[in-house]
Amino acid sequence: MSKPSPNISVVIPVFQEQDTLERIISDVDRVLTAEGTCFEIVAVDDGSSDRSLEILQHLQKDYRSLRVVHHLYNRGYGSSLRTGIHVARGEIIVCMDADGQHSADDIPLLLKNIPPYDLIVGYRTANYQGAWYRNTGNRLYNVFASWLANTEIKDLTSGFRALRRTAGLHFLPLYPTGFSASATATLAFIKAGYNVTFVPINVKPRLHGKSKVNLLKDGWRFLSVILRMILLFDPLRIFMPLAGILTVLGFVGWGLGIKTSGRLLIPNSTVLLFVLTIMVILLGLLSSQVSNSRIHYFADETVEIYESRENGQGEISS
């Protein structure tokens, strides 16, 4: 008899995490078994050189829900997410890290929001005890991304999330290979019109080892991902403010030129700035036209409808 298709797939990218795997797999299995749902755990070993793959294969003897995928060489965190989402069979996918920072006990908090939401991101609260420079960087990313996306983003880089698989598959080609994959997915869901929400989670210190995120290299990648995703979905959000800045600088230069010369004139620098403004606006309009013609929006427009009843109490239907 074939196994029933799981409702939930927990995707766990693994790279050099031999010391935490047994606890992580055990906790996920315990929590989802208590939920009484059909599930699977998809552990993607990303070419680890330690005993991670060996331990995962050994754990399969005790956890029948565990599926192990192995990359022949290290391809990156984003590649592991792509592989896990692609091979997952559940209608709902939960992504979490294997370093012990994410608690399996928070998985039900994410799952209860599907539906009506398509993506639920677990965000780190102010109590998160990470390095101060990393916390500061994450806050800056959140503020910058929120402004560009015109939506409040409470945690752009969190890897603990739940999503509908059919929605997630649409964006797999956009996933970069590195740690910026989470930021890419969050912005893509938001700008494509999907229903996205953030729920607070408790993030613990790493159980073993050090973070694999490089502050400078991955920090620049996060910024480039933010700009790339906004340019892909809503380029005017970048081009119009830039045109506004050039216009203001043009008028300032014009005013300084008149004040300096004592007569009405238009300095060459002002002419250049006004020409650049026109070019930026035209380029933004062209980019917007190309974006709107190439991007397909897949959101299912899930809404909550409050129906009135005879007794006066509201009723919710999706």
In this predicted model, what pLDDT tens digit does every residue of 16-68 receive, in sequence order?
Answer: 888 889 999 999 999 999 988 899 999 999 988 989 999 999 998 888 889 99
Pair 39, 10: CB distance under 8 Å:
yes
Highest mean pLDDT among 168-177, 212-221, 286-295: 168-177
* pLDDT, position 13: 92
What is the arithmetic mean of pLDDT over 185-212?
Answer: 78
* pLDDT, position 139: 76
* pLDDT, position 95: 94
- Judged against a pLDDT cut of 50, whether residue 316 lies above it is answered with no
Pair 195, 118: CB distance under 8 Å:
yes
User: How far apart are the C-alpha atoms of 252 and 233, rounded to whole Å?
Assistant: 32
The proportion of the chain whose per-residue pLDDT surpasses 70, expressed as a percent, equals 78
Average pLDDT over the chain, rounded to an integer = 80
User: How far apart are the C-alpha atoms of 64 and 68, rounded to whole Å?
Assistant: 11
**End-to-end CA gap in the chain:** 35
Amino acid at residue number 40 = E
What is the arithmetic mean of pLDDT over 138-167?
Answer: 83
Closest CA to 48 of 83, 8, 80: 80
Number of Cβ within 10 Å of residue 314's Cβ equals: 9
What is the arithmetic mean of pLDDT over 267-277?
Answer: 88
Q: Scanning the structure block, which residue is given the tokens 């829900």?
A: 65
What is the arithmetic mean of pLDDT over 204-223?
Answer: 60
The residue that leads in pLDDT, 49 or 178, is 49
What is the arithmetic mean of pLDDT over 58-81?
Answer: 89
Query: Is the pTM above the cut of 0.75?
Result: no
What is the arithmetic mean of pLDDT over 224-244?
Answer: 77
With residue 5 as reference, give the H or E element that holds it: none
Reported confidence tier of residue 317, pLDDT bands at 50, 70, 90: very low
What is the arithmetic mean of pLDDT over 96-109?
Answer: 89
What is the arithmetic mean of pLDDT over 172-183?
Answer: 79
What is the arithmetic mean of pLDDT over 114-123?
Answer: 90
- Judged against a pLDDT cut of 60, whether residue 107 lies above it is answered with yes
Question: Which range, of 133-142, 158-167, 228-237, averages the lowest pLDDT?
Answer: 133-142
Closest CA to 177 of 218, 118, 124, 136: 218
What is the arithmetic mean of pLDDT over 85-110?
Answer: 90
- Judged against a pLDDT cut of 80, whether residue 188 lies above it is answered with yes
